[in-house]
Amino acid sequence: MFIFMKKEEFNKAYNYAIKLLKIRDRCENEIKEKLYNLKFNEHIVKKVIEKLKIYNLIDDKKFVQNYIAKQIKKSKNIKLIIEELKNKFNLENEIINNINLENFKKQLLEHIVDIIKNKYPEFNLSKIQNFLLSKGFDYDEIEELINLLREKKYDNHR
């Protein structure tokens, strides 16, 4: 009877984790937190996490990469994204530091330049700066983006 109850509880927890993953990608900490909030014991939670990892249903490195890519499409600054990953998802620095951010930074710069060129066809420096500030960019990054934008505008008029 006791083993049956454990198996039943495990299945309930595992099915709930699968349901969460169907909605969106999740990191390990998120799944654990949700299961603990539903009062599943530590042993059950550990077993659920192990099984999810065996079937590659959770992978924090992949989660971080996908999350950064999605947030870049929303024009969010890399620094803000990293802070979110640390604070909102409690991800360890080791996982985040092992991600090659250079490619993401290039993607973000290209994406932002395209948005600005479409949003502000006339080069309005103050509006562009305000837009970038609202997306979490600091002044050095804004200066870099403005210079890149000027180069791109100049290239288009050749």
d(CA 155, CA 129): 21
How many percent of the chain have pLDDT more than 70? 93
Tell me the per-residue pLDDT of 103-148, one tens digit each, with 9 for 90 and over: 898 889 888 988 888 888 888 889 999 999 988 888 988 998 888 8
Which sequence spans correspond to the domains of the chain? Answer: 2-58, 72-158
- The CATH class given to the 2-58 domain equals mainly alpha
The token pair at 7 is 């198996």
Residue 100 scores a pLDDT above 50: yes
Give helix then strand counts, H and E, for the chain: 9, 0
Question: What's the pTM?
Answer: 0.80
Mean pLDDT rounded to a whole number for the chain: 89
pLDDT grade for 88, boundaries at 50, 70 and 90: very high
Distance CA 124, CA 152 (A): 15
